[in-house]
Amino acid sequence: MAGGIANASESAGIYKGRAGLLILPSWLVIGFFLLLPVGMMLIYSFLTKEFRGGVIWEFSLAAYDQFFFNRGLFGDEPPQIEWTYINIFWRSLWQAGLATLFCLIIGFPTAWFIATRVPRHRTVWLLLITIPYWVNLLIRTVSMKFLIRDTGPMNEFLIWLGAIGEPLQLVNTNIAVQLGLFYSYLPFMVLPIYASAERYNFALSEAAADLYAGRWTTLRLIILPAVKPGIIAGSILVFVPSLGAFLAPDLLGGAKTFMIGSLIEEQFKGNAGNWPFGAAASIILLSIVMTVLIFYARSQTRREAR
Amino acid sequence: MLQKTQDATLAVDIEKVTKNYGSFTALSGVSLDVRDNEFFTLLGPSGCGKTTLLRSIAGFEEISDGAIRLYGEDIAGLPPHQRPVNTVFQQYALFPHMTVAQNVLFGLQRLRKPKDEALTRCTEVLELVQLSAFAGRYPNQLSGGQQQRVALARALAPKPKLLLLDEPLSALDLKLRQAVRVELKQIQKETGITFIFVTHDQEEALTMSDRIAVMSAGEVQQVGTPREVYEAPRNRFVADFIGETNLLDVTVTSVTGDQAFCILPGGREITCPAAAVVDPGPGHLSVRPERMTLTAPTDALLSGQVENHVYLGTDMQVMVRLEDDEVLTLRVQNSDAVSIPAIGSEVGIALEAGAARLLAD
């Protein structure tokens, strides 16, 4: 009897040890790919810059100071708020938000369309959505530039149609950047919404219609709440990379469409860079993204607790 | 009493309704009259068209041909949200992100009822289904039986002219199902709303309905009170589907009025009610197992050998093989007063007057 109890606790101990071993890979992944890089970035953002790129191991708040304040050309004037970077940041938030909205407006009906096909056709549609993404993002973005430039097929076609007299100046505008972001991240909106929509119980739409709800009311009161998790997940998946995107703004935009991703990218490129400043900008970006995600996670837990 | 129901106004008038899915005919020329304040059941096996008919009345299916009139108004062309009809769905289809009260209020809000009126009505129907204490719960916090009652309350709340119920009890366990039957019938009486109830369960149909339409293969086989369809089935399908029955192959000699003269296997002649005028020749008699008794083999209408007994608790089932190799099943009450002949013994079978019935096909 007593032996049995001892055995039981012993084996429980063994399993406990083994379970610890089993989650080791997860810890390695999190450690190497999450904690280590973010930790490095955080440390670098508080170091002094080396002029030819790299850092000097000396504590400094200069990077954050440079981001938020202007102390004149020689750094000896009273600090004033530096709007340059805050404006870039603001523009990035705005662009990313807009891209998310457009992806949602196009992505939701697309996902809904796919989810309402017969099961064997759904796979085909999903494949069609993802096929362009087998091509490298850089090449896709450059192709977009070729498509929309002054002498590109789109403008030539519209002129041939007689819809416009002069080519539309799209390259180097916000519209081009939007188009690039939209094209880059649309599937990240479609796929999570599809996953929610596919599980939707269509009897709920019938019940709503039975209880005197028209099509729009049913969409608003029944369908949207049901696919909300997919919409939120898709919005995060589009918003976050759009915020840090640099390919689309670099290639399709100009000086006026400069985004935070490009700003950070420049700090680490060649000899002109400023590593601590780039790291600080990344940390600020990360904080904003994390805040958004934490709010989402909180709202989800509240939902589940209900 | 019977006279009164027949004089009652027509609630639903289904006229020659046909529904085709491509080359498949789900409903072929179905005509039915449902009376005001009636508990009307569509009974049949799966695939018989009963659910298609219900969904056509609700508006979820567009009928290919025919008319559906609700208190005189043709509703066949209206979308579901414009029909003054509510449905209790088979899997309830409760809105998962809304509380019980919000579910019940949904229809009232769509009809733009004043807020206090809607709330009063909500309280009223939740009381009716005894769920007042659960108004603030979400559907996933309720048991199956409670969810079923929310679905009922939600459908009753807008005071529909007609309530459709699509096998609402099939997801419940047996004990609960039996309790809910009584409750449902009670609620129908109290509210005075016309119910159309779809089921494949003949016991459900017999216990709750005022009238039953037995359906098969997209057609109505028979319409009648539970007693009529059980005791006076029209054809082999109805006799076989509702309750247990024995189908005896007989030779019809003549039919006059509603009386038939048939020759039983074994050669004896019998006079019995006929469901329809049948041409002389081969025919089918339906005899219910509980309407036959075992007698001495000599001079009986039918005779044969006891082949098997099955113990059913309240009853014994006795199988008797007739001389022409047909096997009849009888039900004998399980009582000390009745002695059951041993397997292998020769027995006779007596029929109560009117127990046998010549079927239309």
How does pLDDT run across B298-318, given as a tens digit for each residue?
A: 777 888 888 888 888 888 889
Predicted ipTM beyond 0.90: no
pLDDT bin (cut points 50, 70, 90) of residue A17 is low
Is A223 in CB contact (< 8 Å) with chain B? no
The dihedrals phi and psi of A99, each to the nearest 5 degrees, come to -60, -40
Q: B204 exposed, middle or buried (CB, 10 Å; 0-12, 13-18, 19+)?
A: buried
Contact yes or no for B97 and A217 at CB 8 A:
no
Among residues B175, B159, B157, B177, which one has the least CA distance to residue B167?
B177
Q: What's the rounded mean pLDDT across residues B220-231?
A: 92
Is B112 in CB contact (< 8 Å) with chain A? no
Q: What's the rounded mean pLDDT across residues B105-127?
A: 93
pLDDT digits (tens, 9 = 90+) for B254-279: 888 788 888 888 788 888 888 887 77
Q: Does the pLDDT value for residue B16 go beyond 80?
A: yes
How far A114 CA sits from the closest chain B CA (Å)?
22
Contact yes or no for A214 and B58 at CB 8 A:
no
pLDDT bin (cut points 50, 70, 90) of residue B2 is very low
pLDDT at A168: 81
Q: What's the rounded mean pLDDT across residues B33-55?
A: 92
Q: What's the rounded mean pLDDT across residues B43-56?
A: 92
pLDDT at A306: 52
Q: Does the pLDDT value for residue A255 go beyond 80?
A: no
Express as a percent the part of chain A with pLDDT over 90.
37
Q: What is the pTM assigned to this prediction?
A: 0.79
The residue ranges of every structural domain in chain A are 85-273
Enter the tokens of residue B342.
């041993």
Q: Return d(Cα B215, Cα A188) in angstroms, integer.
A: 50
Is B103 in CB contact (< 8 Å) with chain A? no
Q: Does the pLDDT value for residue B4 go beyond 80?
A: no
Which residues in chain B are contacts of A213 at CB distance < 8 A? 81, 106, 110
Q: B34 exposed, middle or buried (CB, 10 Å; 0-12, 13-18, 19+)?
A: buried
Look up tokens 């709330």; give the residue.
B119
Which residues in chain B are contacts of A214 at CB distance < 8 A? 81
3-state secondary structure chain A: CHHHHHHHHHHHHHHHHHHHHHCHHHHHHHHHHHHHHHHHHHHHHCEEECCCCCEEEEECCHHHHHHHEECCCCCCCCCEECHHHHHHHHHHHHHHHHHHHHHHHHHHHHHHHHHCCCHHHHHHHHHHHHHHHHCCHHHHHHHHHHHHCCCCHHHHHHHHHCCCCCCCCCCCCHHHHHHHHHHHHHHHHHHHHHHHHHCCCCHHHHHHHHCCCCHHHHHHHHHHHHHHHHHHHHHHHHHHHHHCCCHHHHHHCCHHHCCHHHHHHHHCCCCCCCHHHHHHHHHHHHHHHHHHHHHHHHHHHHHHHC
Q: Return d(Cα A196, Cα A217) in angstroms, integer.
A: 19
pLDDT digits (tens, 9 = 90+) for A33-62: 989 999 999 999 999 888 777 888 888 888
- The backbone region for B282, taken as left when phi is positive above 0, alpha when psi lies in -120 to 50, beta otherwise, is beta
Among residues A227, A210, A197, A220, which one has the least CA distance to residue B89?
A210
Q: Return d(Cα B277, Cα B252) in angstroms, integer.
A: 11
Of B79, B97, B110, the CB nearest to A211: B110
Q: Return d(Cα A243, Cα A100) in angstroms, integer.
A: 10
Q: Which of A158-162, A259-263, B275-279 has the lowest mean pLDDT?
A: B275-279
How many contacts does A have with B, using Cβ atoms within 8 A?
Answer: 60
Is A203 in CB contact (< 8 Å) with chain B? yes
pLDDT at B325: 83
Which residues in chain B are contacts of A300 at CB distance < 8 A? none
How far B148 CA sits from the closest chain A CA (Å)?
14
3-state secondary structure B26-63: EEEEEEEEEECCCEEEEECCCCCCHHHHHHHHHCCCCC
Q: What's the rounded mean pLDDT across residues B143-165?
A: 92
Enter the tokens of residue B239.
């006799």
Is B136 in CB contact (< 8 Å) with chain A? no
pLDDT at A282: 92
Among residues A281, A127, A96, A275, which one has the least CA distance to residue A190?
A127
Q: Provide the CATH number for the domain formed by A85-273 in this structure.
A: 1.10.3720.10
Q: Does the pLDDT value for residue A9 go beyond 80?
A: no
pLDDT bin (cut points 50, 70, 90) of residue A245 is confident
Express as a percent the part of chain B with pLDDT over 90.
45
Q: Does the pLDDT value for residue B80 go beyond 60?
A: yes
Q: Does the pLDDT value for residue A175 go beyond 90?
A: no
3-state secondary structure chain B: CHHHHHHCCEEEEEEEEEEEECCEEEEEEEEEEEECCCEEEEECCCCCCHHHHHHHHHCCCCCCEEEEEECCEECCCCCHHHCCEEEECCCCCCCCCCCHHHHHHHHHHHCCCCHHHHHHHHHHHHHHCCCHHHCCCCHHHCCHHHHHHHHHHHHHCCCCCEEEEECCCCCCCHHHHHHHHHHHHHHHHHHCCEEEEEECCHHHHHHHCCEEEEEECCEEEEEECHHHHHHCCCCHHHHHHCCCCEEEEEEEEEEECCEEEEECCCCCEEEEEECCCCCCEEEEEEECHHHEEEECCCCCCEEEEEEEEEECCCEEEEEEEECCCCEEEEEEECCCCCCCCCCCCEEEEEECCCCEEECCC
Query: Would you tell me the crossing angle of helices B115-128 and B144-156 to the nearest 10 degrees?
Result: 140
Is A201 in CB contact (< 8 Å) with chain B? yes
Is B60 in CB contact (< 8 Å) with chain A? yes
- Any residues with CB less than 8 A from the CB of A296 and at least 6 apart, and which? A232, A236
A10 against B68, higher pLDDT: B68
pLDDT at B6: 44
Q: What angle do CA A95, A101, A105 make, to 5 degrees?
A: 145
pLDDT at A165: 81
pLDDT at A2: 44
Q: Does the pLDDT value for residue B5 go beyond 60?
A: no
pLDDT bin (cut points 50, 70, 90) of residue B205 is very high
Q: Does the pLDDT value for residue B3 go beyond 50?
A: no
Q: What's the rounded mean pLDDT across residues B226-251?
A: 89
State the average pLDDT for chain B.
Answer: 88
Q: Return d(Cα A296, Cα B108) in angstroms, integer.
A: 33
pLDDT at B7: 45
Enter the tokens of residue B186.
């009670």
Among residues A237, A196, A249, A267, which one has the least CA distance to residue A44?
A267
pLDDT at A203: 93
Query: Would you tell me the crossing angle of helices A174-198 and A83-115 to the nearest 10 degrees?
Result: 40
Is A206 in CB contact (< 8 Å) with chain B? yes
Distances (CA, A) of A205 to B45, B137, B146: 27, 21, 21
Facing residues of B20 across strands? B25
